[in-house]
Chains A and B, each alone.
Chain A
């Protein structure tokens, strides 16, 4: 049984600085506001292919946040449909490349690979989780949406979103700690 966490609540506006992310600890609540970008597997593959060819990305990721989401279509009168996070490990193969370009936070759900966690420590970045399956609730935090690349990918296209107080929790901090491991340690009851 390890000690209980004492989470702190922060309201952060993008772009994020090293100081913004360095103060975050696992379990902290972060309400994100400002511009964030979206991308899933197929878009990440294309972004990394651009880097491989030495070309520019469709957005400058330095100081930015990428939200792993493939929203459902907007019905009339809405800016977006349901928009909860998708499972993050599918982006693990690509994430270190974007972290090296200055990406400061990723928002998704589920565990990250060791290489991604090491890259977060090295480049001072964090991994946040939004509640998986709370797509209706999270859609209310999204104020504007614009597709900026890969429209052919449909739900997987890269979008630029303006969000207001989007609720997230810090899973991996710049110290290399992991809330999934720490949380289980507190609440597991061994036989």
Chain B
């Protein structure tokens, strides 16, 4: 059995939390440039320029690209042939978050839901653990901002609404969200599963690279159709008018109950932070 120390995971969570907040991925940066060429609104082009410049400053000066350095969402695919040594995995992840948010001068954004008192170290992390075949551990660190999360939506649609109803819900969600989730956004859409799984599918869809289509051509076609319709809404960068409302739409699907049709839309702002590592 392969042994992996939880200390290595703790250190990776720390390092990736800092790096993800300072270095915007090339996938998102390339999308800014690509969309700027197509953007017809002068205000919209100006904002895309600001975002490109913002990413440069954050990377070069080692400061977060956005002051909302996110709730720490951590996905772990744990190989079933791995033996984790040296302690508790959840504690190691939370310790890594605590270290990273302290040492990286990241904002601590978790609070008690009633009193709103800040917890002070950005814990607890949201951990999604999945047991998978093999002898590797794959880890994603996804700091997720509050503004875009607040505009996300889950609907338990009646099955008679069909695929057209699901598409309508996605578009209506973006229409209602307007400027609030910091467009240009990336959409994670989860269709199927049940009440808790549809949002998780949507969140997992956001782990994909911007510009990467679903391998299933049927789903890829739906992604493209939704992207075009969303960009026809006219919200544009920051909602100030323009053709760049979304940089991409990522869809994930799974079977559901014969009585149900869950559809979840998770909105990701342009500070699209997701880093991964394999042990």
Contact = CB atoms under 8 A, between A and B. Distances in A.
Interface of A: 5, 7, 27, 41-42, 69-75, 78, 81-84, 86-87, 89, 109-111, 129, 131-137, 139-140, 153-155, 167, 169, 171, 179-180, 182-191
B105 A81 contact: yes
Nearest to A71: B67
Given A136-B57, A140-B57, A187 B236 contact: yes
A71 B109 CA distance: 11
Given A81-B63, A135-B65, A186-B241, A73 B105 contact: yes
Given A89-B180, A191-B232, A82 B64 contact: yes
Interface of B: 40-44, 47, 50-51, 53-55, 57-58, 61-69, 105-109, 116, 118, 120, 145, 147, 150, 178-180, 182, 229, 232-236, 238-243, 269-271
Given A7-B43, A82-B65, A129 B240 contact: yes
B41 to A, nearest CB: 6
Contacts, number: 175
A35 to B, nearest CB: 20
Contacts of B105: 72-75, 81
B115 to A, nearest CB: 10
Contacts of A7: 42-43
Contacts of A190: 232
A70 B147 contact: no
A60 B271 CA distance: 35
5 contacts: A81-B105, A133-B54, A140-B57, A184-B235, A184-B239
B219 to A, nearest CB: 22
A159 to B, nearest CB: 12
Given A72-B105, A134-B50, A180-B240, A189 B178 contact: no
Contact of A133 (B43, B53, B62, B182): B182
Contacts of A109: 147, 179-180, 182, 238
Contacts of B240: 27, 129, 169, 171, 179-180, 183
Query: For B66, B120, B243, B271, which residue has the most chain A Cβ atoms within 10 angstroms?
Result: B66
Given A136-B63, A169-B43, A110 B178 contact: yes
A70 B107 contact: yes
Contact of B236 (A131, A140, A183): A183
B55 to A, nearest CB: 8
Contact of A86 (B44, B147, B179, B243): B147
Nearest to A183: B241
A154 B178 contact: no
A139 B22 CA distance: 14
A74 B40 CA distance: 37
